[in-house]
Amino acid sequence: MKIIYTISFIVVFCSQIYAGNLTNEDLKQLIYAAPTDIDSENDNAWISQIRSFPDLTPKIYVLLNQEKNPEALNPIFSALRVRGDLDSKSLEELLNKAIEIADSENEPQAHDQVFASGVFSLLEDFPSDVHEKILIKYFNVHDGAYRHSIINALEHIGTSACLPVLNDLFDFRTQNNPSDFQGMLIKRIIAKIEMRENRKNRQKPEIKSKPKPTSDQAPSLSSETEKRDPSRGLKKGTFLVLGIATIFLIYWISKKRRT
C-alpha cells in the first residue's frame, strides 16, 4: 500500500513540476518520501524521479540549509547523493561547515552530527586526494561520530592511503569476535579498495629504462665528439679538398717546368 501511495504521489508531483508549479512544500513532500533503503527495488521510482527533475539540486541545497530538524536531514542528503551533481562551490561551503563541527572540542548536538555525517557522505561522488585526507582525519573524531558515513564514502573514493585506518578498525572489531558483522563489512570494503588500487596500478604505463650499451655497442670517443661538435665532419671534408688541390697544384707546376 505504501509503495502504491509513493508512486502515485510521484506521478502527480511530476506533472506539477513540468507544469512549472513547484513549491517549497512540493519539494519537501517529494524529498521526505525518500525510502529508508535506497537499494530497495520498490523505491526505484523515487530515485528515478529525483534524478530526472531539471534544476532540482540548487533547490535541495537551499532546503538543506533551512532545515533545523535533524531527522529531516537524512532524506535531503539521500536526494543529493542520488543526484550527485552538487556544484563545487556549494560542496565547499557544506564541507567547511562540517569541518568546523568536527574540529570543535565539544561533542556535536544531534543536528550537527547528522549534518556533518551527511556532508562527509556526499564526498563519495567527488574523488580527490584532499577529500580522502579529510575523511581519514575525522575517521575517529568524537568517538567515531561520523565514521559510518566516512566508511561509506571511502568505499567509493578510498585509495591505499585509507587502508591503515580501515585495517585498524577491522582488527578492533574482530579481536574478540572473528565473525563480527561490522568487521566483515569493513573487510569487504578493504578488499574492494585493494582491487581498485591493483587495477589502477596495472593500467599505469610502464617506464622502460634505456638499456646501457655493451662493449660492442659502446660509442667511440671520436663519434661522441662528432655528436657534440657537428662542424667536425665539415672540417674533415675541407682539409681533404685542400689536400687534393695542393697535390694537383704541385703536379701542374712540375709539369710546367718540364715544358
* pLDDT tens digits along 54-77: 889 999 999 999 999 999 999 999
Q: How far is CA 10 from CA 24, 57, 75, 167, 255, in A?
A: 15, 17, 15, 43, 115
Residue 179, SS3 per DSSP: coil
Sign (positive/negative) of CA torsion 77, 83, 87, 92?
Answer: positive
- pLDDT of 100 reads 98
Does residue 24 fall inside a structural domain?
yes
**Residue-number span of the structural domain to which 58 is assigned:** 1-85
Does residue 61 fall inside a structural domain?
yes
**Half-sphere CA count of 94, side-chain side, radius 13 A:** 27
**Grid coordinates of 128:** 580527490
Does residue 201 fall inside a structural domain?
no
Is 60 exceeded by the pLDDT of residue 237?
A: no
CB 83 within 8 A of CB 50: yes
Range of weakest confidence among 40-49, 95-104, 124-133, 143-152: 40-49
User: Which segments of 84-207 does DSSP mark as H helices, in order?
Assistant: 88-103, 110-122, 129-137, 141-144, 147-157, 163-174, 181-203
Does residue 30 fall inside a structural domain?
yes
Does residue 93 fall inside a structural domain?
no
Does residue 4 fall inside a structural domain?
yes
pTM of this structure = 0.71
Cell 570494503, residue located: 189
> How far, in whole angstroms, is CA 200 from its chain's centroid?
12
Does residue 44 fall inside a structural domain?
yes
- pLDDT of 43 reads 74
Count: domains in the chain = 1
